[in-house]
């Protein structure tokens, strides 16, 4: 344990006593918390002319700050500057064709008068040659056949169906 009164003035240095003092100091240093973070808990505006104040507390390994800051004097109104020219033009500088599957890109810049665009647009995948049955343009005969096949899968004559003559009671009554 550290004793601030040792060694006493005028005594010879004793290795055991000095080692005990150094070990005591190390133990005290080891108990000092390691601070790993800081946080502002509050900021309060005080009336003009009030002195500023700040407090800090250590909770665990974190510093917690609270500030009290006086309001400043009202300043003079600023000058209104001249209005700048409105931009009136949007200019497309270039459009680049990208490979299929690439993400589209756009870059925008302003040169003081013009908003300038540069686009990158991916092209689509190559289509079929039309002879392999892949979707594409169809003939009137193919359309008529598809409609007829759809109709054949439905009831063509709903008037020829019998009706249900069974009465049903309302279950809530």
> Residue ranges per domain, the chain?
1-32, 34-71, 89-122
Say what the pLDDT of residue 115 is.
85
The string of pLDDT tens digits covering residues 135-170 is 567 778 887 777 777 666 555 555 555 555 666 566
Please list the residues that pair with 39 across neighbouring strands. 64
What is the spatial distance between Cα 77 and Cα 62, in angstroms, rounded to a whole number? 42
**Torsion angle (degrees, nearest 10) of CA 22, 25, 30, 36:** -120
The string of pLDDT tens digits covering residues 111-140 is 877 888 898 888 887 765 555 555 567 778
What is the spatial distance between Cα 155 and Cα 153, in angstroms, rounded to a whole number? 7
Terminal-residue alpha carbon distance, the chain = 90
Q: What share of the chain is helix, strand, coil (3-state, %, to 5)?
A: 20, 30, 50
pTM above 0.85, yes or no: no
């Amino acid at each position: 344990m550290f004793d601030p009164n040792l060694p006493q003035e005028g005594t010879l240095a004793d290795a055991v006593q000095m080692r005990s003092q150094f070990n005591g100091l190390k133990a005290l240093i080891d108990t000092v918390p390691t601070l790993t973070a800081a946080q502002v808990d509050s900021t309060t505006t005080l009336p003009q002319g009030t002195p500023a104040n700040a407090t800090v507390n250590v909770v665990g390994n974190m510093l917690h700050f609270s500030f009290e800051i006086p309001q400043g004097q009202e300043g003079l109104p600023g000058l209104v500057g001249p209005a700048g020219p409105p931009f009136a033009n949007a200019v497309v500088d270039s459009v680049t064709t990208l490979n299929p599957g690439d993400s589209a890109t756009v870059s925008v810049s302003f040169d003081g008068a013009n908003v300038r665009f540069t686009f990158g647009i991916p092209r689509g995948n190559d289509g079929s040659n039309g002879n392999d049955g892949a979707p594409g343009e169809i003939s009137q005969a193919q359309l008529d056949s598809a409609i007829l096949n759809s109709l054949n899968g439905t009831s063509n004559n709903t008037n020829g169906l019998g009706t249900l003559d069974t009465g049903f009671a309302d279950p809530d009554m």
